[in-house]
Structure 1
Amino acid sequence: MEAGHPPSRTRRPRVSDPPDVPLTDLAALDYLVGGATVGVGVLDTDLRFRYVNRALERINGIPAAEHLGRTVTDLLPELAAPMDALRGVLDDGRPRDVTHSGRTPASDDPGLRFWQSTYHRLERDGEVHGLVALVLETSASLSQLQELEHVRRHLSLLDTAATRIGTTLDMNTTCHELADHVVPALADVASVEVFVPEAGKSVRPAPEGVIRLRRAGMAAVPELREAVRQFGQPGEYVDYPKGGIVTRCLETNRPEVQNLISDEQLIRSSPHPERVAAYRALGFHSLCIVPLAARGRSLGALALVRADDSPHFTDEDVVIAKELAARAVVDLDHASHYTVEHGIALELQRALLSEPREPHPHLEVATRYLAAGQGAVVGGDWFDVVPLSASRHLKVMGDVMGHGVEAAVAMSHYRSMVRLLAADDVPPHRILERLDLMVERAGIDRAATCLLAVVDRNHGLCQVASAGHLPPVFIDPGSHGRIAEIPVGPPLGTGLGGYETAAVSCGPGTVLFMYTDGLVERRGEDIEASVGRLADLRLPPSGSLDDLLDGVLERFGHDAEDDIAVLASRTRVTETG
């Protein structure tokens, strides 16, 4: 035995004796790595096995003796062997680290297995004899990483829900946000369907034996987005039959899951059984319905659909969907209450802001009201025109602080009191003084700004008084607007008084333009600069007051952050004056 080699008691290596590699070298290798946990294999220059240790034998699931003299592809046809990397190591001698996958007889699991392998060239005296492969299975590690990534995605989905759902108090917006949030993380298609009382709207009664929901939000992955439009759009009502998955979910207030759903189940659960063929054509195979309920009241349901090669719903998916629904339902509950209040306030405001009748045939009046946005809360803006005598009339523009039903009710009180006080035909500042006292005595806890203007067409004058309101604009025929410089007293409801009346020339044909602060007030801009832009106003070529207001709202109303009320009036020019 040569010096430096293992003694004769070493176990006989399981190798053939290649003519160019001494048997004693492989025996030494087996002595060193035969019991190692990492797989070790030696291949000759034809990439045929000359040695495998016990770990590689277990990894491949093939006895060591059956490896010898065979290539990797001969031995393991279902393994994506990195043959180019092996040949590259033989050619240039640079080690390679490669991750590869496949299947071996060592496992009955139909799924792929993964390995991390490192290859080194074997040389002696400048002559290449083959290469050595070190193989470590990473399937379990990858599975754990995938599971951790799955959990991370779910946690991220929950964490971001707070900032992406419930950004407004609009019911439809909240439902769209919920549907968008769960696609594609939890579903290929999602629909949020709710019971929503719609103030001021009549809804035909549902047929007997069905539950009617309104589809308020819907989302789908890009490849299904156009196709699912055939099943209806947000805003439509959907009737679900008794005994289906949706009605069971609503009745029990528990999630319902149907994986690999059958045609019979689809027919029983679908609002339109004839659509089953279309569902199948799109690859729908699994449903998860999660109830949306708050304070013992059912709001509706979140429907999740998976299609094509997406996996079926797991228990973990249901837990995540329930948690998301629980977080979103708080916002949906607030939005639901808001929808009712908003509808009542809007109807009340519409009734109170009915177009004021023209108090005299010599007077032209045009008005507009513009809400700040689709989801905006109704405010307390109002306008009015009150006849005083054959040649005089009172114009009113006001804005109650706050929004919602209470603001609209307070606005109705203010408007009624102004009409009552106007009957005494006193100067505008006297009306404001008395109104301020009446508000305090009536216990109205919402302050308001108000601008009063009494126009006397016989004398060509306008008496103006302001309670914290922005100044009016006068537009003379053929000229730009002039912003009236008038004293401004405190808002109504403060009890401070101190109002004054200013006289402004206002001859026949001069337009009096009044507005609320929503028209000009912009964040980060000085209010005087905003009001100053109104000096550019002039009558349009048509001379129409309606065209004037339409142009004003088009110019100033697009980025308004508050409701806008505007009123334009003028005394007609007649031959008799």
Structure 2
Amino acid sequence: MSPVNPLDDAATARVVVDDDGVVLEWNEGATRLLGHTASDVVGGPVSALCAPGGGCGGLLTGDAASEQRLVSTVPVRHRDGRTVPVGLIAHRRPPRGDRPGRWVIVAPVGETSRPLQPDDPLATVELVQSPCAMAVFDAGLRLRAMNTDMARVMGAPAERLRGLRVTEIGGREELAEVEQTMRQVLDTGKHYSVRTYLPQLGGSGVIRAWLTSMAPVLNGSGAVCGVSLAAHDFTEQLRARERLELVNEASTRVGTTLDVRRTAQEFADVLVPALADFVSVDLLDPEHGGDPPSEPPSPGVPVKLRRAADRSVLGRADAFPEIGELDSYPGTTLQSDALSQARTLIVTDTPEGMARRFAYRDGLARRVVEVGLHSALAVPLRARGMILGVALLARHRHQERFSRDDVLLAEEVAATAAVCIDNARRYSREREVALALQRSLLPRSLPVTAALQAASRYLPAARAGGVGGDWFDIIPLSGMRVAMVVGDVVGHGVQASATMGRLRTAVRTLADIDLAPDELLTHLDDLVVRLSEEAGNDGSPGEVGATCLYAVYDPVSRRCSMARAGHHPPLIVRPGGLPEPVEMPAGPPLGVGGLPFEVADLELPEGTVLAFYTDGLVTHHGQDVDTGRARLQEALAEPAESLDASCEHILARLLPKGDVADDVALLLARTRGLPSSKVATWDIPADPALVAAIRKQSVKQLEHWGLEEATFTAELVVSELVTNAIRYGARPIRLRLIHGASTLICEVSDTSHTAPHLRRARTFDEGGRGLLLVAQLTQRWGTRHTPEGKTIWAELTLLEGE
């Protein structure tokens, strides 16, 4: 019975037949039309109702079985034996779960199927010949009249449809809302409108958008006797708005990062399922990492493309290339053809025909047939005169083929995506150059020293700012001392990395001449000032800034002196204690010029840990420095198996998951002390006659240390250095021997600030060969200046086992 009016079930003949042709339902209207009762036909074949020779038995089989809606006139056998031509509409109901597919067949019965009489109030409604589809329905919501355009929309003439409800004509659930709104018009006498989206009846199945306006029809006494309906097709306006929305969405969703693959994936995600059921993005691989070509490839020549992204409504399939995979596309493929012609290409065919175009890869052709792909288009990706690659769009769930409007939309979105991909490609290349430069300037491994056990971590920035100028270093100094340095150049990119390299080189050079921390930073400050001046020669502001912290640790005295130029103070963890910042003067940042730097001296027990770091570790996502430093102290206080493990733990605790916005440098150093038994010191009288006695004491000390094999060389070095100090130095003079794990260090100090230097002695000269001999016999030698004077030192390499 009708869900709208339970009493009008006899006004429509309704029959349900399954896919095997067995009658499942037979209503009162069908009995009224053909005389057969439900008990006569239900469970039997529908072919038994066909008139002899009428051929209606094949109506729902063969090619017709693939249709969703059939409109036809068939000869049917009446119970009394006569043949009745019946104009019917058959609606296909696909299988759902365990329920098999079936057909719902309807036909009008009775007075409502006849044309309106002139005296009928419904006949007063004027049905004009216009692009607006118009129809009139009676109080039972059955069609009584319609204009030509409505007949086109309904897919059948009025003679076939008159007397049927709108749900019976369309046979779709979406029309139930329309029928319900028509009932509201009858009940209230008010105007209503409703929007529906459904395939055009009797057409190609293309989804159309309809605005249906309904108004009551009044009789002479003013009572509602029917409903007039006008349907407006606003599909094109809706699609135009959807295209604009898609273009706007692409402008905001594509290019959110400077990562090529992620940008390509954003492009594919925007188009699926809004425009296509499948999208792939394949990019050309430039030779030697250069720019993509500006000229299209030759026709018919295979093209190598790398899969950057893909998206499907069905998920990824094994037949697709993996993301990042390089594949060869023959000249017959749609991708290769579109690139060679440098224009968008559309192909529409049967799934079997489309499969031949995708047979270049195992399993892909079979996949095309399985999903029923019927339309595809390939859009070349071009930006700044270069060909970046090609995007392939395909449809299988969308019933519509790609149209010219779809091509324009795809090209517009692809143009936006191509610029974003090229921006990401350029950024990635520049970042790779900056990273390579930065890696070449940073230490590949920390030197092994007797003074420190150290571990470090460096993470380059991975966001739009690019790599920066953070650096760290450990520099072995004379006397088994070691320098620790950490710095940060203002800005990002190649320029910051280059500046960092220059500053790191300058620090190592200044450290090599054993400058005190405050003096070293003063020279470094002058260098940054000069760099700023040079950068401003082209008219630019020329602002170059940096921060730096420089510390020197002596394992013999176990003291550490450090100075900083605007950098964060290190954290210190004494044995058994908690992390705390080192209290020391801040000092101005490098590049300010003219301001002094101050030194802080600390005594560090053996096993003390110093933590040096840069901004990126403690300031991110708007976090202030104090909060970041407090979190660093908490992480550093937690026990770890080693300094390396502690580094990993700190990064995991402090840094957000994913890319970091700024460079991060972290250096942890645990101090070691040299036992007093490994150091021997003598005050030297200024008497050349006592040099022999000094040599004997030195040899005796070496024998005490078990260094007999080094005594000959050490005796010569001590003799030369002490003799030079007595002759050219100033009192007091002191000799110190330091026994390291692999080196023996000889140091002679005096209060003269004049540094010795090598010179080439002539053949008959009696002197001038002492320092040359020292240089030849030792691993390295040098001079360092102290507030009291100078120290000449020389290092001898000890053989294994010494």
Q: Distance in 2 between matches of 1:88 and 1:522?
A: 62
Q: What is the TM-score with the length of structure 2 in the denominator?
A: 0.58
The CA deviation at 1:164 is 1.0
1:165-219 CA distance string (max 9 Å, x none): 1111111221111111111111111122213559999xxxxxx953222211222
State the secondary structure of the residue aligned to 1:489.
coil
Aligned to 2:257: 168
Aligned to 2:347: 258
State the secondary structure of the residue aligned to 1:509.
coil
Aligned residues with identical type, % of pairs: 33
State the secondary structure of the residue aligned to 2:479.
coil
Taking structure 1 as reference, are residues 60 and 349 closer, same or farther at Cα in structure 2, changes over 3 Å only?
A: closer
Q: Structure 1 residue 188 and structure 2 residue 277: aligned?
A: yes
Aligned to 1:530: 628
State the secondary structure of the residue aligned to 1:385.
strand
Aligned to 1:136: 229
Aligned to 1:544: 642
1:68-90 CA distance string (max 9 Å, x none): 9x970499974669899799899
Q: Structure 1 residue 154 and structure 2 residue 223: aligned?
A: no
Q: Confirm or deny: 8 A CA contact 1:56 1:135 kept in the other structure.
A: no
Aligned to 2:664: 564
The CA deviation at 1:345 is 1.5
Aligned to 1:212: 304
Taking structure 1 as reference, are residues 468 and 267 closer, same or farther at Cα in structure 2, changes over 3 Å only?
A: farther
The one-letter code sitting in structure 2 at the alignment partner of 1:552 is I
The CA deviation at 1:493 is 3.0
1:31-69 CA distance string (max 9 Å, x none): 9657878978696999897xx6xx6699669xxxx999x
The one-letter code sitting in structure 2 at the alignment partner of 1:472 is P
Aligned to 1:291: 380
**1:84-99 matches, cutoff 5 A:** none
Taking structure 1 as reference, are residues 28 and 571 closer, same or farther at Cα in structure 2, changes over 3 Å only?
A: closer
Q: Structure 1 residue 239 and structure 2 residue 339: aligned?
A: no
Q: Confirm or deny: 8 A CA contact 2:333 2:357 kept in the other structure.
A: yes
State the secondary structure of the residue aligned to 1:567.
strand
**Range that drifts further, 257-266 or 182-191:** 257-266
State the secondary structure of the residue aligned to 2:242.
helix
Q: Distance in 2 between matches of 1:35 and 1:394?
A: 97
Q: Structure 1 residue 382 and structure 2 residue 480: aligned?
A: no
Aligned to 1:331: 420
Q: Distance in 2 between matches of 1:364 and 1:236?
A: 43
Q: Distance in 2 between matches of 1:279 and 1:496?
A: 74
Q: Confirm or deny: 8 A CA contact 1:170 1:375 kept in the other structure.
A: no
**Range that drifts further, 564-573 or 536-545:** 536-545
Q: Confirm or deny: 8 A CA contact 2:139 2:186 kept in the other structure.
A: no
1:414-472 CA distance string (max 9 Å, x none): 11111111111011111111112223335365321111111112222211111111110
Q: Confirm or deny: 8 A CA contact 1:474 1:506 kept in the other structure.
A: no
**Range that drifts further, 494-503 or 161-170:** 494-503
Q: Structure 1 residue 509 and structure 2 residue 607: aligned?
A: yes
State the secondary structure of the residue aligned to 1:225.
coil
Q: How many residues align?
A: 526
RMSD across aligned C-alpha pairs, in angstroms? 4.3
**1:333-482 matches, cutoff 5 A:** 333-373=422-462, 377-442=466-531, 443=534, 446-482=544-580
Aligned to 2:749: none
State the secondary structure of the residue aligned to 2:255.
coil
Q: Confirm or deny: 8 A CA contact 2:635 2:653 kept in the other structure.
A: no
Q: Structure 1 residue 276 and structure 2 residue 365: aligned?
A: yes
Among 315, 321, 326, which residue is 1:225 paired with?
315
The CA deviation at 1:521 is 1.0
**Range that drifts further, 87-96 or 315-324:** 87-96
Aligned to 1:521: 619
**1:56-67 matches, cutoff 5 A:** none
Q: Distance in 2 between matches of 1:99 and 1:357?
A: 75
Taking structure 1 as reference, are residues 256 and 35 closer, same or farther at Cα in structure 2, changes over 3 Å only?
A: closer
Higher relative CO (Cα under 8 Å, sequence separation at least 6) belongs to 1
**Range that drifts further, 329-338 or 350-359:** 350-359
State the secondary structure of the residue aligned to 2:478.
coil
1:109-135 CA distance string (max 9 Å, x none): 6669987565668798xxx9xx84343
Q: Confirm or deny: 8 A CA contact 1:267 1:273 kept in the other structure.
A: no
Q: Confirm or deny: 8 A CA contact 1:483 1:534 kept in the other structure.
A: no
Q: Distance in 2 between matches of 1:102 and 1:459?
A: 87
Q: Distance in 2 between matches of 1:542 and 1:198?
A: 47
Taking structure 1 as reference, are residues 397 and 196 closer, same or farther at Cα in structure 2, changes over 3 Å only?
A: farther
The CA deviation at 1:329 is 1.8
The CA deviation at 1:412 is 1.2
Taking structure 1 as reference, are residues 123 and 554 closer, same or farther at Cα in structure 2, changes over 3 Å only?
A: same
Rg larger in structure? 2
The one-letter code sitting in structure 2 at the alignment partner of 1:572 is R
1:500-519 CA distance string (max 9 Å, x none): 21112322110111001111
Among 579, 585, 591, which residue is 1:493 paired with?
591
Q: Confirm or deny: 8 A CA contact 1:96 1:120 kept in the other structure.
A: no
1:229-263 CA distance string (max 9 Å, x none): 54133222222112321112222221111122664
The one-letter code sitting in structure 1 at the alignment partner of 2:269 is D
Taking structure 1 as reference, are residues 439 and 506 closer, same or farther at Cα in structure 2, changes over 3 Å only?
A: same
The CA deviation at 1:337 is 0.8
The CA deviation at 1:495 is 3.0
Q: Distance in 2 between matches of 1:336 and 1:325?
A: 16
Q: Confirm or deny: 8 A CA contact 2:564 2:585 kept in the other structure.
A: yes
The CA deviation at 1:307 is 1.1
State the secondary structure of the residue aligned to 2:455.
strand
Taking structure 1 as reference, are residues 510 and 393 closer, same or farther at Cα in structure 2, changes over 3 Å only?
A: same
Q: What is the TM-score with the length of structure 1 in the denominator?
A: 0.78
Q: Distance in 1 between matches of 2:182 and 2:264?
A: 58
Q: Distance in 2 between matches of 1:320 and 1:100?
A: 25
Q: Confirm or deny: 8 A CA contact 2:319 2:367 kept in the other structure.
A: no
Q: Distance in 2 between matches of 1:467 and 1:186?
A: 58
List alignment gaps of at least 5 residues for structure 2: 1-116, 291-299, 536-541, 679-802
1:340-399 CA distance string (max 9 Å, x none): 111111222223223343252342110111234477622211111111113311111011
Q: Confirm or deny: 8 A CA contact 2:481 2:554 kept in the other structure.
A: yes
Q: Distance in 1 between matches of 2:166 and 2:630?
A: 87
The one-letter code sitting in structure 2 at the alignment partner of 1:554 is A
Q: Confirm or deny: 8 A CA contact 1:179 1:191 kept in the other structure.
A: yes
**Range that drifts further, 331-340 or 234-243:** 234-243
The one-letter code sitting in structure 2 at the alignment partner of 1:562 is D
Taking structure 1 as reference, are residues 73 and 209 closer, same or farther at Cα in structure 2, changes over 3 Å only?
A: closer
The one-letter code sitting in structure 2 at the alignment partner of 1:211 is V
Q: Confirm or deny: 8 A CA contact 2:465 2:493 kept in the other structure.
A: no
Q: Distance in 2 between matches of 1:303 and 1:89?
A: 48
Q: Distance in 2 between matches of 1:233 and 1:96?
A: 57
Q: Confirm or deny: 8 A CA contact 1:519 1:564 kept in the other structure.
A: yes
The one-letter code sitting in structure 2 at the alignment partner of 1:72 is G
The CA deviation at 1:272 is 0.8
Taking structure 1 as reference, are residues 258 and 496 closer, same or farther at Cα in structure 2, changes over 3 Å only?
A: farther
Q: Distance in 2 between matches of 1:102 and 1:364?
A: 73
The CA deviation at 1:102 is 14
